[in-house]
A and B are shown apart, each in its own frame.
Chain A
Amino acid sequence: MLVDLNRCVGCQTCTAACKQTNATAPGVQWRRVLDMESGSYPEVRRTFVPVGCMHCEDPPCADVCPTLATQQRDDGIVTIDYDLCIGCAYCIVACPYQARSRVDYPNQAYPGRPRMKHEQRTEHFERRRVAQKCTFCVDRIDYGLANGLTPGVDPDATPGCVNACIADALVFGDLEQADGRVAELLASHHHFRMHEELDTGPGLYYLTGPRS
């Protein structure tokens, strides 16, 4: 996934869309956008930085997971098998991106009130008291590939955050595909990956400006 920092406005539409697509509990944000300042007055910059699971090439979470609940698929997506996870939170402390969380409380926005109808439908008990994080909406990707759709292009095969992003700041696709949009943007823009020095090989690339 690419994040074009020149385009992102920090609106949190991706955050909200992700929360809804994945019915995450209050306070849990698999995708969110940071509001960062750098420099000091009056030479200040403010940058909006979408973060979440980086689906690292060398995911520390998968290394430490004692149960093999966290796995890396052949396509690089890092997944969690909620039925295997024991909720030891080792992966949470192993992740340098604060992408994982363990939630012991129910998906209920208004505690003390009757649970809302949509919350009743999307209880996700399997996710309770185990580790959870962004899945890159892997069900969509699998559906898309099985049905001849292109992830990142066809909405039914694209992560919810990317579909929702109103600034088109999030770009999803196959990094390996040489003629794809992802490769093209990486070639034409300066970019970095967060905490690159930690050698996890994060899969989110941040574009900072055209190479020209």
Chain B
Amino acid sequence: MNIGPQRQHNWDWRAAGNFIGGGSGSGLLLAAAVSAPTGIDIRLAATVALLLVAGGLGLVWFETGRPARFINVFRNRRTSWMTREAFTALALLPLAAATAVTGWLPLLLLTAAPAALFLYTQARILRAARGIPAWRPAEIVPLVVTTGLAEGTGLLLILLSLGESPHPPAAFPGTLALALVLVRWFAWHCYWKGLQRGAPEGTLRALAPVQPLLLTGGTLLPGLLALLLTLEPPAQALLMGLAGAAMTATGWLTKLLIVTRAGFNQGYAIPIAPARGGGRTGPGSRPGWHLPPGGERP
């Protein structure tokens, strides 16, 4: 029997799919809303976002043991972020659908509100999972939110690059992208630094590849490209597509790893070994944890 932290298997790639779809979808809606004046295809953006959010929710619905009882998910709005996510989805999905059908900008702007909320509830879902040291840090919230926004913006860049115009408006999305990858990097950096102060070794091992990946593929590369985009260079669509893909893919991979591979549980620990009979107490044990010398962080 293993005593140290074990990788949780209850939330698998399907749960990760919800965070990917939900984050990117709501991020896309938000990115589309703020970029709307630049003339993006609202219908297309809303459709893609709708598919992502609904797809993610669908995946997680299939992961539940008793999907037929899904209606019960709405019972605990007082404390459960999952209930809140569900309620938000109730607003988000029809609005997104309506936007997808109508392509009406005010509707898109209206949809942005539940989309932001949705993204936030997803971040809080992870934060509230106090059994998983990789999910519960406060820093997970800005990370999930910023990466959702970055992924959404990335998707927006991809959509723009796929548009009919060879020179889609790039300055604003480029600026937005640049800002978001930098903010996301900062959020990741805070999160990762936090984990260094105490986390299951397995978590750190699983997330170690994210650091260089997110730096190069998720920040520097798209950041550089985004910087270029603000200068409205030639082959703009290609650059946009590349930047968007890098932003999105790295975000997805990061969340996939956080939810699945890095999702180690707390494990067991004792701060002290008991005195046996006339003996003395002894040192405790926290197997499977990386802790800095002398320091311990929950």
Contact = CB atoms under 8 A, between A and B. Distances in A.
Nearest to B79: A63
A86 B65 contact: yes
Instruction: Give chain B's interface secondary structure class.
Output: loop
Interface stretch (B22-30, B32-40, B124-132): B124-132
A159 B235 CA distance: 72
A208 B272 contact: yes
Interface in B216-273: 263, 265-273
Interface in B53-84: 60, 63-67, 69-70, 72-76, 79-83
A94 B125 CA distance: 10
A129 to B, nearest CB: 3
A64 B282 CA distance: 36
A84 B8 CA distance: 23
Contact of A45 (B81, B135, B283): B283
A208 B266 contact: no
A92 B130 contact: no
Of the four ranges (under 10, 10 to 19, 20 to 34, 35 or more), the interface on chain A belongs to 35 or more
A87 B66 CA distance: 6
Contacts of A138: none
Contacts of B275: 6, 208-210
A49 B130 contact: no
B281 interface: yes
B137 interface: no
B285 A198 contact: no
A60 B128 contact: yes
B81 A64 contact: yes
Contacts of A190: 272, 281
B130 A96 contact: yes
Nearest to A193: B271
Contacts of A147: none
A63 B80 CA distance: 6
Given A34-B1, A66-B76, A98-B266, A88 B82 contact: yes
Interface stretch (A36-44, A115-123, A149-157, A177-185): A36-44
B268 A34 contact: yes
Contact of A66 (B80, B129, B263, B270): B80
B274 interface: yes
Nearest to A90: B82
A2 to B, nearest CB: 12
Contacts of A69: 72
A38 B11 CA distance: 31
Which of B63, B274, B287 is packed against the most chain A CB atoms within 10 Å? B274
A165 to B, nearest CB: 16
Interface in B75-131: 75-76, 79-83, 86, 125, 128-131
Contacts of A197: 296, 298
A98 B2 CA distance: 11
Contacts of B266: 96-98, 195, 198
A67 B72 contact: yes
Nearest to B297: A197
Interface in A71-102: 84-90, 92-98, 102
B226 to A, nearest CB: 35
A208 to B, nearest CB: 4
Contact of A89 (B3, B6, B11, B130): B11
A5 interface: yes
Interface of A: 5-6, 32, 34-39, 43, 45, 47, 49, 51, 60, 62-69, 84-90, 92-98, 102, 104, 128-130, 190, 192, 194-195, 197-198, 200, 206-210
14 contacts: A36-B285, A38-B270, A38-B283, A39-B283, A43-B282, A51-B268, A65-B80, A85-B69, A86-B70, A94-B128, A130-B65, A190-B272, A197-B298, A206-B274
Given A35-B3, A38-B284, A66-B83, 14 more contacts: A6-B277, A32-B1, A34-B3, A38-B282, A64-B80, A67-B73, A84-B72, A86-B64, A90-B82, A95-B130, A197-B298, A198-B130, A198-B298, A206-B274
- 5 nearest A-B residue pairs (beta carbon): A87-B65, A129-B65, A209-B275, A38-B285, A5-B274
